[in-house]
């Protein structure tokens, strides 16, 4: 039996037995330096006629793990979770609307370009550099949020958003790893801006 088989055997047993503990211990993403983390740099929600739009700029630094996965044919889905909430001082916030804006980033080996698919609209753009592709994703421009009619006048609304890598879209074998290792599913903190 090969050394790998023995290792796999032992690892399988260990994984099955210690899964819960490991999940608990490694469930939280490890701490990174601020510049290495996903974050929302700024966001601005505004109204044009009766529709609210969102402009946002994020920092999406992909680490070596994810870059390696990307160049090896694994597509990475980066998603913005956006929710419009009615903040109530005396009770939990009331979520009025939720929206997830998803981009699939993949490497096109034939053209040696990075392809960004907007999964909400179906529009694709290709970039010769990864940084350009990430910049394209990191800058949300005029993203329609919701219609004014859905909001109640006089109430104070805010927009919460965060950007993350959607681990649910990984190929299945990676999903377990992503579940166990936070590095595979980086995420920013929630960023809150007023809905003007």
Partner 1 sequence: MPVELKRLTNRAWPAVLLIVLTLLSVLAMSGAVENSARFSRHYIWLLVFNTVVLLALSLLIAANLYWAVRQAKRQEPGARLTLHLVLLFILIALVPVSVVYFFSIRFLDQGIDSWFDVRIERALSDALDLGRGALTERMHDLQRQTRDAAEGLSGVSDLRLPVALVTLRARLQASEVAVFGADDHIIAASTDPPGRVVPNLPPADALRHYRRDHGYAGLEPEGGHRLQIRILMPIPAPPGSVEALQPPRMLQAVFQVPGRASELASQVQDTFDHYQELTFLRTPLKQSFVLTLSLVLLLSVLAAVWAALYSARRVVQPIRRLIDAIRRVAGGDLQAKLPLTRGDELGLVARSFNEMTARLLSGYEETERGRRQLERQRRYLQTVLEHLTSGVLTIDRNGVLRTANAAAEHILETTLDPFYGRRLADLGSHTQLIHGLYQAIAARLIEPADSWEQEVELFGENGRKILICRGARLPEQPGEGSIGGGSVIVFDDITALIRAQRDAAWGEVARRLAHEVRNPLTPIQLSAERLRRKLLPHVSAADARILERSTDTIVQQVESMKQLVNAFSEYARAPVMQLSEVDFNAAVAEVIELYGAHPGVSLTFAPTEAVGLLYADPGRLRQLLHNLLKNAVEAVRDKPLGEVHVETCVTQRADQPFVELRISDNGEGIPDTLRGQIFEPYVSGKTGGSGLGLAVVKKIVEEHNGLVWAEPRREGGTCLVVRLPRWRAAVGDA
Out of 4, 28, 31, 33, point to the residue binding partner 1 (CB under 8 A): 4
Helices (H) and strands (E) in the chain, counts: 4, 9
176 binds partner 1 (CB under 8 A): yes
Q: How far is the CB of 26 from partner 1 (least distance, A)?
A: 13
SS3 at position 4: helix
Out of 33, 48, 64, 123, point to the residue binding partner 1 (CB under 8 A): 123
68 binds partner 1 (CB under 8 A): yes
Distances (CA, A) of 82 to 55, 131, 163, 169, 180: 12, 24, 9, 19, 25
> Which residues within the stretch 91-110 sit at the binding site for partner 1 (CB under 8 A)?
108-110
For 73: left if phi > 0, alpha if psi spans -120 to 50, otherwise beta; the answer is left
Instruction: Please identify, among the stretches 36-44, 51-59, 82-90, 164-172, the one whose residues bind partner 1 according to the rule CB under 8 A.
Output: 164-172
CA pseudo-torsion sign 46, 51, 54, 55: negative
Residue among 21 and 33 whose Cβ is closer to partner 1: 21
The helix (run of H) or strand (run of E) holding residue 73 is: none
Q: How far is the CB of 122 from partner 1 (least distance, A)?
A: 6
Would you state the structure tokens that stand for residue 78, as one six-digit string?
């980066």
List of residues contacting partner 1 (CB under 8 A)? 1-2, 4-5, 8-9, 11-13, 15-17, 19-20, 23, 68-69, 72-74, 108-111, 113, 115, 117, 122-129, 132, 168, 171-177, 179
């Amino acid at each position: 039996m090969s050394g790998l088989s023995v290792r796999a055997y032992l690892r399988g047993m260990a994984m099955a037995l210690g899964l819960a503990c490991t999940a608990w211990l490694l469930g939280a993403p490890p701490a990174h330096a601020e510049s290495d983390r996903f974050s929302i740099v700024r966001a601005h929600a505004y109204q044009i006629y009766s529709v609210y739009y969102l402009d946002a700029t994020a920092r999406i630094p992909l680490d070596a793990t994810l870059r390696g996965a990307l160049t090896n044919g694994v597509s990475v889905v980066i998603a913005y979770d956006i929710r419009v909430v009615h903040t109530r001082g005396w009770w939990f916030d009331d979520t009025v609307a939720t929206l997830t804006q998803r981009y699939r980033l993949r490497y096109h080996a034939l053209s040696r370009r990075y392809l960004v698919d907007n999964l909400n609209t179906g529009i694709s753009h290709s970039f010769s550099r990864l940084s350009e592709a990430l910049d394209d994703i990191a800058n949300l421009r005029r993203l329609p949020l919701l219609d004014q009619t859905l909001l109640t006048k006089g109430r104070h609304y805010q927009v919460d958003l965060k950007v993350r890598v959607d681990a649910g879209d990984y190929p299945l074998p990676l999903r377990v790893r992503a579940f166990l290792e936070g590095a595979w599913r980086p995420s920013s903190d929630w960023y809150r801006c007023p809905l003007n």
